[in-house]
Structure 1
């Protein structure tokens, strides 16, 4: 499985990233994979390689590149509940600095980068994300409705907020992609889910929002205590058909 560590020019600097793609001479549909709050690290690279094995060019950016290349903090190999609060406290300034304006500038750069890759097929792309990455994926899709044909988010948060730039507010007029959201039991309230589904209905897009029973936030991440093997497989069983429908293979 070929992998690369591209450097992507943006209006604010150069973003480091990880890319994986099939070992052949064909061009493949692109998947922009946004990481969770812990950022670009080995478990995301492994997930990218696995997904690339299904016929996709997968790009995982370091969304914190303005503060330096990944990893920005000394992450342990396994993020247990005993050290999670300390790690989150270190990361919160980076998360808070990643404003909507920065997200959108970066999305423009990532989409443009994928369009120029010789390994990437012409046509639509997918944006997927985990935790805060689900917000980034949805913002990318609403900013680039002509390019993003599929959105997937897992253990997502902050999709429905009281802020004037809440992600759900852009859905009715700007989203054209098919969407799947897989949530942990306490990721969103029933009212929040209903608000989100109403926005998807108003956009007229295919969508599915489901709560994975017995899961906690972060259930796809094998380097954390939140990992749930059955829920991880369920997320793959939802993601691959979505990509298959939205991104035709060459």
Structure 2
């Protein structure tokens, strides 16, 4: 399936316009929507390629700039120490409520898209894995994939480093797919076990997948990229979204 040239839309939020890139298939058919949350570096080339991959499999993919209230529209942070430092600084400067307001704006946009089928999912990577986890708490979100989601086990997302993501797991009514790398120092085994136990105790519908991979194994830039693992897990993701959203 071929895709259109990405579109740029500015979605209104309580803290200003949120620049969002939209990738979607060609033709006039109706397709499910997916919010794709980036890492701390915003909409980098690997994130754009991930969005194009999903759009090419039949989804309308909206990729918001997660730090829109702090950085000029279109800002991309580099995959270097300075970029990581700035991304981590903003991750803890942003209000938790702002992350949630952004999710509502992106989900509403996709749910009402002229070429949408009314069903919406979410996917996220690293920081984005946590943001997609929180987006799953919205009743409109039917399916969510989280790649090595950071901060959930510590409850440390947002300003004040005191999120309520574990406590709000009962709000998740759709299905989750949680994907982890065992060699990821950001979410060690005890942290993963804590999240697994909380999901199980809440009766959440979810699948759990751990692989021998490092943090950022999905990103097709850098030495931690694992092409075979990326191919496997993105195939799993497409199958999951087709089952839940089509």
- For normalisation by structure 1, the TM-score amounts to 0.88
What's the offset of the Cα at 1:153? 0.9
2:134 counterpart of 1:139: yes
| 1:171-229 CA distance string (max 9 Å, x none) | 1x21112111111222423332222122222332321222211x211111112332110
Q: Which residue of 1 aligns with 2:229?
A: 231
**Which stretches of structure 1, 4 residues or longer, exceed 3 Å deviation after superposition?**
none
Q: CA deviation at 1:114?
A: 1.5
**1:69-218 superposed matches below 5 A:** 69-73=73-77, 75=78, 79=79, 84-122=80-118, 124-142=119-137, 144=138, 146-162=139-155, 165-171=163-169, 173-185=170-182, 186=184, 187-213=186-212, 215-218=213-216
Aligned-partner Cα distance in 2 for 1:202–1:239: 24
Shift in Å at residue 85 of structure 1? 2.4
Structure 1 residue 86, shift from structure 2 partner: 2.8
* Structure (1 or 2) with the greater helix fraction: 1
- Partners of 1:245 and 1:211 lie apart in 2 by 21
1:72 Cα deviation (Å)?
4.6
Q: CA deviation at 1:128?
A: 0.7
For each residue in 1:159-179, what CA deviation from the matched residue of structure 2 results, as whole angstroms up to 9, or x when unmatched?
1125553422211x2111211
Q: Which residue of 1 aligns with 2:19?
A: 16
Unpaired runs of 5+ residues, structure 1, are none
> 1:36 aligned to 2:39?
yes
In structure 2, what is the Cα distance between the partners aligned to 1:21 and 1:59? 9
Query: How far 1:92 moved relative to its partner?
Result: 2.3
Q: How many residues align?
A: 235
SS of the residue corresponding to residue 150 of structure 1 reads: strand
> Residue 56 of structure 1 aligns with which residue?
59
Q: TM-score, normalising length from structure 2?
A: 0.89
- Alpha-carbon distance in 1 for matches of 2:28, 2:179: 34
Residues 41 and 70, structure 1, Cα contact 8 Å, conserved in 2: no
Uncovered stretches (5+) of structure 2, i.e. residues with no partner: 157-161
Report how far residue 51 of structure 1 moved. Answer: 0.7
Give the superposed CA RMSD.
1.7
Quote the Cα distance in structure 2 between the aligned partners of 1:99 and 1:218. 25
Q: CA deviation at 1:49?
A: 1.1
8 Å contact kept, 2:33–2:121: yes
